[in-house]
Amino acid sequence: MARTFRHLLLVASTALAGTSLPAHSHQDSDHVHLESTTLAEGLVHPWGMAFLPSGDLVVTERAGGIRVLKKDATLTPRLSNVPEVAAVNQGGMLDITLDPDFEDNNTLYFCFSQPGEGGSSSSVARATYADNGLSDVSVIFSAAPLIDNGFHFGCRLTFDNEGKLFVTLGDRYKYMDEAQNTNNHFGTIVRINSDGTVPTDNPFTEGDAPEVFSYGHRNVQGVTVHPQTGKVWAMEHGPKGGDEVNLINKGANYGWPVITYGIDYSGEVISDKTHKEGMAQPWLYWDPSIAPSGMAFYTGDMFPEWEGDLLVGSLKFTHLRRVEVNNGQPADQHEYLRDNGERIRDVEIAPDGAIYLLTDAPNGKVIKLTRAK
């Protein structure tokens, strides 16, 4: 049964892009009244979600399941015919999205850590959805090479307005220098057709990893399409400092690890450079890191004053963050739900304009935010 709480959610203003943000921001006078409703709990580290045309919500569990939250707030058992995942450390069943023509073909896509000979890989599967399970499951993309560790899989998915599927990938942690190599998939964002084939206008079609669209990334755990421009935006974890939001351009190099605003967890310097010719600067970065995961530009009738603002989840500081966007640039930032102490893994906008969140925990939740009446 859904549980509803009315909160006076205090908004914390923070700084602009390119400046350091305090770990504990001051609270200002910009109060927003929201209702927070827990629609479901008991999910095992929920990671990604997508709304079906029916209004039901399909949700992944990192441990290996895919479940459906019905409109009446009942949660189905795990769907059948879901492939085995390498549920180790950060790996498992990760993001999920619908085919642009889902209403006609009932096709969905999910990204998962696929076990294989000698390690695991971030792989994308396509499947036909039915109420109790999946059919015609086929893997259409696998990042190469396979690596024997459980870190930095990336694995967010989105279709752009041209029907191309963008898949975000990580550098697999110990292989960060390979993020500058476009002949493999480490630290890249790839772009493929819905059947897994390579678009002919990709920038590196002559190389060994023709799916690559952009590179120089660390661990991309947010991707979305801007509702007005149709451009793809992505968000990645930095090391200790230097989380980034980037506008993704064809063939662009985003610098990791040659340039970075962060340092190693040990305190050692990774690079003494934050800028280099030929490498893109982030639209926004956070120092200290907020550990961002899940992102969406707000569009909807429920919060018209937030139209076009960027919503992101923070794992480290356990809040939903709203970044005001003024004339295409980042402005004030605001925090919600921080006092709940729950890691926000994903953010989605419902068809009615409500905001849905996933909390990353062994007893994970689906939370719905609406305007208080």
**Strand ranges across the sheet with 212-215:** 157-159, 165-168, 188-192, 212-215
Which residues are tagged catalytic? 152
Instruction: Name the strand (E) or helix (H) holding 109.
Output: strand 107-116
Contacts of 242 (CB under 8 A, 6+ apart): 260, 261, 262, 285, 286, 287, 289
Q: Whole-angstrom Cα distance, residue 40 to residue 76? A: 11
Would you say 316 and 289 are in contact if contact means Cβ atoms under 8 Å apart? Answer: yes
Query: How do beta strands 93-98 and 107-116 pair?
Result: antiparallel
Q: Whole-angstrom Cα distance, residue 128 to residue 130? A: 7
Is residue 51 helix, strand or coil?
strand
State residue 149 phi and psi, 5-degree precision. -155, 170
Contacts of 268 (CB under 8 A, 6+ apart): none
Separation in Å, CA 104 to CA 53, 81, 108, 124: 11, 21, 12, 21
